[in-house]
Structure 1
């Protein structure tokens, strides 16, 4: 097979493998597409299991599949162990003559050729791809080995992405802090039990005065209490029962086949078990509400709502007790409605708005602020808004909070304002009227602890809001509220990672893996990522390494009156190095995701170019691949020491010159051959570049040197309208793309 046809076959194989929708499907397609490229008899994929110090077989084809899959390899042993340890390919013409060779138990010791290639993704060794051919004269040629190596590079990225998707599918059902089923999964499980037709009881439990624990002892102690609560609740139920976390400090027990009396007994056992836990020497107290099907509801939402109503009455009548739901006997709705109506009559005086900075990690600057509502009553805002929605006044209360936040003036220029809105309220007339026509600089943050409503209407509303200038954020990613379906439906501009997932991430490999998967997923969709609840600098550094865009939390700044500044020491831990008026990334940190299809199309455009003018199509495609608002290609003219615009764009025609002496940051990029960026609002930015951005109507520029054959040929300038720094993942993509242009410019020149 010629090099050209081999490359085409590899591109076709990449497209086929990436199209798989499951981990097993990805592995099957790896085997299928490699067989189309060269002959082999057996194939095995091994994955590193560091906890067990093993190379574990995860997929095999051939005559000895059962035997291979039943025999993991200790790390560091055999040919496969050597390849993984040294990160180098090994071509063995005959395994019988190689001293490192070992025989899988249950398989014959016969001559066969063997190529073992390490599976590398983002500089990490995932495992190994082993390919075998039977016979004494079956050795793989150098060209075949090179083909397997190229294939393994692509297959490793596809396998890693598929493995992350599988992790996401499983993790989305679980609460990141406690490991319990999350709200969405509880709703689904309750629906399954109700469909079975048997009696089902639920117990809704809420920790009393939990806000005091968080405020006085910190969120770390609060997390410890929540995790211990989960363990105690597991201890008081049967194996057939379900323990879930509905959100915050509220839990639920789903008890199939249990009547009201037995459910109340279970609730009391649960409260007694929790009282055995102490916080500062005081027993942990809880309130509980009980509801039972079919009397109290036959739909999951109805049963949960009635259990929550009983819980609410338990808390409002003294806490530390269990209340059974009885229609009409639990706190009259008129009384609850009157409380909310009184708040609404008071207007803005009924609440106060505080703001928490959202810090951009690449620059350390406050990129925006989240508006948070506080009430003078001891109850938290979630409880007030939940009550308002129960009595039909939720949209009005949310609208009041929105108007109050928008009325606060003096927001620093170039920052956004994030406003919390539930999806159901977003579609209502009061909230629609509270939002101004021009939503430039506004982020609509969807916060809802329930399943989103019917498809279509919400998506249409978000399209309309974006057309008015708004961006959309989705809250609680990683906690289960923002499940994969919601993320796909909403296509958020900012994905907010739940505090329970972020806290302690620096010391928890599982959390880091899920964070990496979520951040990688967001990167492939063009979404920025914001980590919530950052309290520890070690967690902040972990988020920087994982390439999150934004962060917020007590470790950066507490919510306060407008407009609080982030803590200086914390922001320095995140910001990248400043050189010549640029934020620079010296060492690439790797990138998740694949953009092979776009790069293949770009390569076709560049290969078809016969003149410099023919590069316009490729430049336009580059903007799409990088999800940029504009891209400019500027050639270096060493005779005049200037840059020449090769591609016309909306502000300047092709052929314009700019003296490099007027742009020291760009000269620095060329002289040092490292990319850098300038963001409006970042005080470290080079003044000349900032002025040029203003003239172009842009807010961020990434400048990437194009070096080929040891010569500085050009720079690629990538622009954004938003003042949002490019992440290291995006910078790496631009670097890869610039090399494609370098080869084309060298050929055409």
Structure 2
């Protein structure tokens, strides 16, 4: 290579490195896109640029960023997948350099722009072997078309930009998920606090409306949680329809919603609350309109800080429900039910003791056997006015008596007689109450057969104190369960911190899991986490038999929900017809495990492969196991070869004829793997790869090969060649699994006659 050209290429590579550093330093998706455009402009002269994102749900390439003369027009014109040059590039994963758009039949004109021909380059954005979008750069014909060197530069730049963009998109998605309620997609409790605080910081008027659905518990109890969830999602949509663009709609928890109205005074907020209640009333459940109560507070008159404003709106909402429901009440200092009155109500309840508490229990069904492995104790409070237990506990904590009420509920549950032998009893308690004296005093010294189920894990605190308390409970025989796992990032943090013996899946993940690949993927990840720590998985809110079968396939240990058994005062047994859909097959008095496709599937598949290899009578029988072995590794093909001196011989059915031989002299990387007894891989596109292996992959139309030596009696006797069609390196975990498979083949070869 001439020195000048080498210097020029080195300078370009150095500029790319600098661009990568600049782009990766962005802290937002918009920032990443802006830096992509800025750094490419420093490397390459162009007039316009557009970044498209693949939106499979809508079947389009959605423009997400543009610079140049036609920004608004470009951003308003999505491209249907598979159409135009950009659609071709994404579909074929290949770059297109168009010297003149007027001579390219696939080219189309962005709506609202002129139809003057131009030169442009379209490059697919590939991140982790996925096409996430396309990068288009344009130049007026008078400035000349893009040279081959410039196209190569754009391609190199796009490789780096795609990874940066994909990472930024994932961070943005994670930020959004942390702030969103999993069921409705509205902002969650924490995000509402943050948005209200931010709005108050501007110093302008801000109003808050809190809405609570009246008698919602009746819907859940009579029609099931699935119907309740449908109503909540429909309510969320109706509330979105009655607010302005800058207003915020959130779900505070349960059936309570919040409207944050920047710039609104209390009168405007009352009008909005009435519109919201009217919109909700347009929804019907079994012919009855959905009714709601609302409380209104406005800053600065009703509070200048977010917690105060929300507390006062909540007080107004409480008064609306206490005074007959189905109305809007604005906060008025001194007119709302005083805290002392609320405290006295809780104090009177506590004075009545366990007589005020009814405990119902719901079976926690062991799916493999269909039996009740345990029971969760659920509190019902028999005091007028009739309200759900969540309202009572929230009021108790609000007036400083929450620990005492939780202790009373636990005492009532522990007093239940005649618990079935071998069944555990799960007691719900919030972390803050668990650390309190009233709860500590009520728990017996021996906790064998007791599961302490932690709730409200978003407010975990006092790390050392809580960890010590959990260690003490475990030492006394208790197991720890974590409720609502997978409900958000905070929940994931607590899963790692608490390391529970039972992980209870949030019911929003369970509903519809049988037909939702995204839910199944998240469930598999949570189940994989649980299996790595030895925790059992319990799915809550199971109401659909298809969901139940999906949970069985994912290797879930326990399940509970209306579809299995409703809560009852005694010790109810699971519905036999429902559990029959989940139980393992019985043969000769044994439970014969099925074949889960989620966590534990590799271990199960490895056991089946070992059975197949142990039945082999010849070396070629071992080769017949290659399909099963490839599937275990998520590979497209697997070949078993034997080492014969300086040659290797294929013994498994493959694209090449069985019995074909190759000299190790022609494949130095293969010889290295065998001599050093370590696995290694070659990926098409990796310039450092062995040329012989790369040529072989190209001839076979494959993208990656992993070479794993098969060791027998401390000698390399064979080789596993594991292939992928796509160009994607095997992860360290996958390599370790391949080594385990190689050991199985080695043991089988050692057994067979030479």
CA RMSD, 1 decimal: 6.3
Asked if the contact 2:315–2:331 (Cα under 8 Å) also holds between the matched residues in 1, the reply is: yes
Aligned to 1:189: 195
Q: 1:539 to 1:27 in 2, by over 3 A?
A: farther
Instruction: Report the CA distance between 1:271 and its aligned residue.
Output: 2.8
Counterpart of 2:364 in 1: which secondary structure?
Answer: strand
Give the Å deviation of 1:58.
Answer: 9.0
Name which of 411, 414, 429 aligns with 1:403: 411
Q: Deviations over 1:127-150 (max 9, x none)?
A: 8999xxx9989999xxxxxxxxxx
- Distance (whole Å) between structure 2 residues aligned to residue 275 and residue 115 of structure 1: 51
Secondary structure, in 3 states, of the residue corresponding to 1:339?
Answer: helix
For the 8 Å contact 1:268–1:322, the answer to whether it is kept is yes
Partner of 1:468: 473
1:165 touches 1:517 (CA, 8 Å); kept in 2? no
2:462 is aligned to: 457
Which residues of 2 match residues 356-375 of structure 1 at below 5 A? 356-360=362-366, 366-375=372-381
Cα pair 2:555 2:598 within 8 Å, conserved: no
What are the residue-to-residue correspondences of 1:498-577 with 2, within 5 Å?
Answer: 498-506=506-514, 512-513=517-518, 516-517=521-522, 519-520=524-525, 523-524=528-529, 526=532, 530-544=538-552, 550-574=558-582
| 1:245-260 equivalent positions in 2, closer than 5 A | 245-260=251-266
SS of match in other structure, 1:296? coil
Which of 353, 359, 364 is residue 353 of structure 1 equivalent to? Answer: 359
Distance in 2 between the 1:46 and 1:220 partners?
37
CA shift, 1:429, in A, is 1.3
Deviations 1:263-287 (A, max 9, x none): 3333333333333444334333222
Query: What's the TM-score, normalizing by structure 1?
Result: 0.61
Give the structure 2 partner of residue 167 of structure 1: 173
Q: Tell me the equivalent position of 2:595.
A: 585
Change (3 A) 1:396 1:741: same
* Structure-1 residue corresponding to 2:300: 294
Match of 2:393 among 360, 375, 385: 385
Secondary structure (helix, strand or coil) at the match of 1:314 reads helix
1:399, distance to aligned residue in structure 2 (A): 0.7
TM-score, normalised by the number of residues in structure 2 = 0.60
Any unmatched runs of 5+ in structure 1?
1-17, 29-43, 61-66, 141-150, 592-625, 643-668, 677-707, 715-731
Number of the residue aligned with 2:667: none
Q: CA deviation at 1:186?
A: 0.9
- Matched residue of 2:593: which SS? strand
Q: Which residue of 1 aligns with 2:722?
A: none
Structure 2 counterpart of 1:222, from 203, 223, 228: 228
Change (3 A) 1:167 1:91: closer
Call closer, same or farther: CA 1:160–1:360 in 2, change over 3 Å. Answer: farther
Report if the CA contact (8 A) 1:439-1:465 is conserved.
no
Matches within 5 A, 1:583-622: 583-585=593-595
Where do residues 103-502 of structure 1 align in structure 2 (5 Å cutoff)?
Answer: 166-360=172-366, 366-377=372-383, 378-408=386-416, 409-413=418-422, 416-439=424-447, 442-448=450-456, 452=459, 457-458=462-463, 460-466=465-471, 468-469=473-474, 470-475=479-484, 477-478=486-487, 482=488, 484-489=489-494, 491=496, 493=499, 495-502=503-510
Task: Report deviation, 1:84.
Answer: 8.6
Uncovered stretches (5+) of structure 2, i.e. residues with no partner:
1-23, 35-49, 67-72, 137-145, 153-158, 616-624, 633-706, 714-730
Cα distance in 1, alignment partners of residues 366 and 508 from structure 2? 20
Deviations 1:218-268, CA, capped at 9 Å, x for gaps: 334433333333333334333332222212221222223333333333333
1:741 counterpart = 2:740: yes
Structure number with higher relative contact order (C-alpha < 8 Å, ≥ 6 residues apart):
1
SS at match of 1:534: coil
Secondary structure of the residue aligned to 1:181 is coil
1:232/1:51 CA distance change after superposition, 3 Å:
closer
Q: CA deviation at 1:119?
A: 7.5
C-alpha separation in 1, matches of 2:711 and 2:366: 31
Superimposed CA distance per residue, residues 598-640 of structure 1 (whole angstroms, 9 cap, x where no aligned partner): xxxxxxxxxxxxxxxxxxxxxxxxxxxx9x9xxxx9xx999xx
Secondary structure of the equivalent of 1:491? helix
Report the Cα offset of residue 396 of structure 1.
0.4
Task: Supply the distance in 1 between the matched residues of 2:120 and 2:264 (Cα, whole angstroms).
Answer: 64
